[in-house]
Structure 1
């Protein structure tokens, strides 16, 4: 199963992420913990802020973040492209789904302090 095809189950748990402005859901599929959030109805800087908080939760290869957004987050991707593997697809309704994954030796070096939106 591709990470891009993973769907949040109905029994996913809502988790508290300090500073977030949208609900975050956590669930497991095949031993991988997924953390999902949807900023498709948010305006800047909310998608950037929530994404930076979310990728900060990725500590190993067994944790991945799914972001649903109204478009590809042009300001976010250059900030973290070197530190996380990023898969992107367009959903049937036109929203964008991104899956962020751990890169050993690179994810630990990510500077997640700059949450301003330049895109």
Structure 2
């Protein structure tokens, strides 16, 4: 069972090493990617690539991973909100959204440490 909606459309994302998908509803997009079968540094690399899609927008990003990415959370400033939810199969679904906080997360740092 995929946690990415079947109606989402595959898109190209600069710097990504996994497939990304976009689901447009009304005037906002939700981007999805799954790194649950990837090892470091792929989850971080893809998260940073995906976060660039939502920076300064009303769009959201959904990451499916094998665990909550604590190293990624530590790199985010107050301009990127995130919530994690345990889902079937022992996976974690992390939803990221942009927050207008006047702060700017550095999305170029893709190392896990």
TM-score by length of 1: 0.84
* Correspondence for 2:49: 53
Q: What are the ranges of 5 or more consecutive residues in structure 2 without an aligned counterpart?
A: none
Q: Deviations over 1:66-117 (max 9, x none)?
A: 000000011100101422110110002110000000101346x111111000
Displacement of 1:9 in angstroms is 2.9
Q: Deviations over 1:19-45 (max 9, x none)?
A: 111000000235431000000000000
- Please tell me the root mean square deviation across aligned C-alpha atoms, in Å: 1.7
Does the 8 Å contact 1:84/1:106 carry over to 2?
no
Q: Deviations over 1:9-65 (max 9, x none)?
A: 322111101111100000023543100000000000000000001011114452100
Does the 8 Å contact 2:77/2:105 carry over to 1?
no
* Correspondence for 1:110: 105
SS at match of 1:18: coil
1:91 and 1:31 map into 2 onto residues whose CA distance is 27
* Correspondence for 1:87: 83
CA distance 1:9–1:53, shift in 2 (3 Å):
same
* Correspondence for 2:30: 34
Q: What are the ranges of 5 or more consecutive residues in structure 1 without an aligned counterpart?
A: 1-6
TM-score by length of 2: 0.89
